[in-house]
Each structure stands twice: as structure tokens, then as C-alpha cells.
Amino acid sequence: MLALDKVDFSCNTGEVHAVVGENGAGKSTLMKVLAGAYRPDGGKIMLKGKEISFSSPREAQRHGISIIYQEFNLIPDLTVAENIFLGREPQKQMGFIDKKMLYERAKELLENLGVHIDLDVRVSELGVAQQQMVEIAKSLSLKADIIIMDEPSAVVSGKELESLFRIIETLKESGKAIIYISHRIDEIFQIADKATVLKDGKLVGTVDTSEVDKPTVVRMMVGRNLSEAFPSRGKAGEKKEVLELKNVTRDGILKNVSLNVRAGEILGIAGLVGAGRSELARVIFGADPIDRGEIILNGKRIKKSTPKHSIASGIGYVTENRAHDGLVHSLSVRKNLTLPILDRIKKWFFVKEGQEREFSKGCVDRFNIIAPSIEQEVRYLSGGNQQKVILAKWISIKPSLLILDEPTRGIDVGAKSEVYSLMRRLAEQGTAILMISSELPEIIGMSDRILVMHDGEVMGELFPEKTSEEQILMMATGQEGKTPGEE
């Protein structure tokens, strides 16, 4: 499969051009090609009428193309001004840094942007939104004509997003070309002049946002009706409670979280980045300790939980950052699959390898994992197949509670619906599922109930048939739901 298949794309000065599409549509790949991080296998890039090619991000920078990733490239222990001019510090004789000049020029840049950030504050002390501003100032200092922003709204929201939009306007007026990557339709209509829609690595089309309406763009993005994407819900019966949390608190991270999940139910946890959702998952799994409160699993109060106990009592946990903490990359498919259940397939001290092989082959067949052999080290597998190994690893412990943190992040659209039907099947077989997701359609489409978190607290419970993306967002940004301090 091609990550990007013969896509035409053009952008003019003084224009905000949105690139939209679902996860896995090829947005990021396109941007990385433009920014010099990937080399295209075919096709041309023209800049101001001239054909160019670059082999590194640095070369792309020299051509005036700058990219702002979701994860910023800032050095936490340097100040704002030092970060803006990192690697390009104005110098006096003998290579000493001209601090005065450095601060003057940084000040000028930030003033032009109309933002107020102390220049001599260390970046680690800034909030995410302010860090984003520093990144923008940095790309301006590079004399960038084209600024690519990779899903900026994934990290900021509300008022901060508004001020980001104002800055984008300023940049646009000064003749810069802005390429704005997002999958959020509302934003695009608010900020962009044009939108290019990608799907499965192919170009669907480019439209003027003034000439089309939102549903048109959604149809282009999805290529089908949204409701088709999710398997239908099972009947909600009175099933037994698998997990209950009572006022669980982890100081500074989780505040009085209470919730319950029943067998056969998918509980969706919505919220913005930093709302404490993954931290909640870790606490339930016993990966982190709690300071106060009670966790009750299958009717029994858990005193001190560890991952080992959790697995033994039937909790599976698919983490969010699967590239980093999903698999042991130096071990084979077989050895990864059996890691949580090695205790169950041993005789004395020894692993029963025959049984282990049989088990692994079963997993490979059942989850359609494509690998040359179960002895292949997982680092040689494709991203999608690595994900399948992770899911197989946890589902095969036959969990009574399965925690899925962003289950469809980083996988393509086809694989997404596979994951959805898998989740539904598990629920029908009686597994309780706790699903954390930042994708609102997924939250609404998959959950039987929705909890919205903000700042370490549960803001409220919603039902998918009686709520909207807007309402969830209002709660997630703390503008609706319970007031601070209330129990």
C-alpha cells in the first residue's frame, strides 16, 4: 500500500490552506515530504515556479519551508529567546553569543506576532499554547515563507486556539502561506481559504471553503456515511459490575474519580490531552499507585494493585503510546505474545515452548498478523501488524476488563473498522471495555456510556444517543459539567 499516491497539491502566498483527512489518510506523510523529512518516490515539488528537491529538513528550511509538529522541538531548559534562535545565535567576535542582539530580535518577532511571553523564561515553565507560539516565532526567525502546522488544535483548545487563529490571520496578511493540517471540520471552515481532502493516501479534491458546506467536506473525508463506520450496539442488559472506582485520587493528577463498568459494556472516556485519562488507566491497571479512594474489581476491593495482580485478575491494558511502550522490540512475535501469560505455560522453571508456539500460531491466525514467522523480531513488522500483536497479546489473556487507550490511533481506516468490530464482539462476549479516545466520532459511535474528564476530574456522564460532539467538548474544556470544588 502506498502512503501517498500521486497527490497534487498547491498553495499560494497569503493563503491558509487546510489539509484534511482521517487518521492514516496521508496528511502527515504529505507534510513530511514537503518538509524534507521523507523523500518522494516520484513526482516533483515546485517552489515559486522552480523545481526543487531537498534531502533533509535543514535544506527545506533553507528554502523557506518550516514545519511545526505536534510535539515541539524545543529545549526545555533554555529560555524563550534562546530557543527561537537555537543554532543561529547572533554572535560577537570569538564566537560569544550576542545576548543583547538575541533578545532584541526575539522581542521584535514576538511583538510582530502580537503575543506576550517573557523572553527570559525557560520553556519548561510555559504552557503548551505558549510553547506553540515560541515554535511559530522560531519558524518566522528562519524567514519561512511557508509554515506547516501539524494538527495544532490537538494540543490547544478554547481561548488558546482562538488566539492561535488570530496569529494565523496576521501571518496570512503578511504574505505567508500557511498549511494547516487537521481533521476537525469546524476549524477548517473558520480559518482556511482552501481545503485539500486526502483519503487512504489519495487526493479526493481541493475545494474553496467559501463555496462548499461542512457535510460535503465530511463526505469527501469519510467517503461513506458516518453511521456505517461503527458496528451496531448490543442490547444493554442488567449485567454485573466488573469494575468500580470510588473517589480515587492521585495527588495532582486525579481528583475523586468515581466510575463503574459493567460486563459487556463499552465505557468511553473523553477529554483533552492532559485531562488525566491515561493516568486513570494506569491507576486502574496498578501501574501507578493511588493516594486515596477505592478500586473494586469483580466485587473485591483491591488493596495494593500491581500489573501482575491486575493481569492475574483479568485486566488487559493496551497503552496509548504503543510505539514506545507496547512491545519489546528486540523480542520475537512469539515471545511478545506470551509475556503476560508466561506463568501459565511453564513447567518448573522452564517455558513450555511447544505450547507457546502453538499459542502464538493461534494468535497469528486469529488476528491475521502478517509476519514471515512467529520467530521474527517485532521491530521488523509494519506498524499495523505491531498493533495487532499488542491487541492479540492482551485479548488472549481473556480479560474481564480491557482498557484500550486510543485504540485506533495511528492505524488506517480499514484497520480501524476491524478494531471496532473486534471491540464490539468482545463486549458481546461479556468483556467490559474501558475505551479512552480523543476522537469524538469514535467516542460517540462506540461507547455505551461516556464519561468526560477535565483536569483530573470526571465532569459528567453522557449517553451517546443524547449528546453531541459540541457538548462533549464543552465538558472537556471545563465549560460545562460540575463546578470546581463540587464533589
Partner 1 sequence: MRFGFIKRHSATLIVYIILAVLILATSILSDVFLTFRNLENLLRQVAPLGFLSVGQTFAILTAGIDLSIGSVVSMASCLTTGLILSREPLVFPVLVLVIGLALFIGFINGMVISKTGVHPLIVTLGMMSVVQGGILLYTRSPYGSVPISFDFIAWGNVWKIPFSIIMFAVVAAVSVVFLRLTVFGRYVYATGGNEEVARLSGIKTGRVKVIVYMICSFTAALTGIFLASRMGMGDPLVGERYMLDSIIPVLIGGTRLTGGRGGVVGTIAGIFIFTILSNALNLLDVSAYWQWIVEGLVVIVSVSFYFRQKG
353 binds partner 1 (CB under 8 A): yes
329 binds partner 1 (CB under 8 A): yes
Min separation Cβ 346 and partner 1, Å? 5
List the beta bridge partners of residue 18.
180, 195
358 binds partner 1 (CB under 8 A): no
340 binds partner 1 (CB under 8 A): yes
Min separation Cβ 325 and partner 1, Å? 5
Task: Give the interface segment with partner 1, choosing from 206-214, 267-275, 334-342, 433-441 (CB under 8 A).
Answer: 334-342
Contact 135, 68 (CB under 8 A): yes
Our CA angle for 452, 455, 456, nearest 5°, is 75
Site residues for partner 1, 186-205, by CB under 8 A, read: none
Min separation Cβ 357 and partner 1, Å? 13
Cα-trace Rg, the chain: 25
Task: Give the interface segment with partner 1, choosing from 27-35, 141-149, 321-329, 422-430 (CB under 8 A).
Answer: 321-329
319 binds partner 1 (CB under 8 A): yes
Contact 281, 403 (CB under 8 A): yes
Q: Which of 311, 305, 273 minimizes the C-alpha distance to 288?
A: 305
**Cell numbers representing residue 391 in the block:** 491487541
Site residues for partner 1, 240-299, by CB under 8 A, read: 285, 287
372 binds partner 1 (CB under 8 A): yes
Sign of the CA dihedral with 381 first, then 383, 389, and 390 last: positive
Pick the closer one to partner 1 by CB: 125 or 353: 353
Q: For the residues of 66-124, what is the DSSP string, one character each?
A: EEE-SS----TTSBHHHHHTTT---B-GGG-B-HHHHHHHHHHHHHHHT----TTSBGG
Q: Tell me, what amino acid is at 282?
A: R
330 binds partner 1 (CB under 8 A): yes
Min separation Cβ 156 and partner 1, Å? 28
Q: Which stretch of DSSP H or E encloses residue 359?
A: helix 353-366
Rounded-to-integer distance, Cα 80 and Cα 261, Å: 45
With CB under 8 A as the contact rule, the residue among 161, 168, 254, 327 that binds partner 1 is: 327
Task: Give the interface segment with partner 1, choosing from 23-31, 117-125, 189-197, 324-332 (CB under 8 A).
Answer: 324-332
List residues near partner 1 by CB under 8 A: 285, 287, 306-308, 310-312, 317, 319, 324-331, 335, 339-340, 342-343, 346, 349-351, 353, 372-373, 375-377, 379, 393
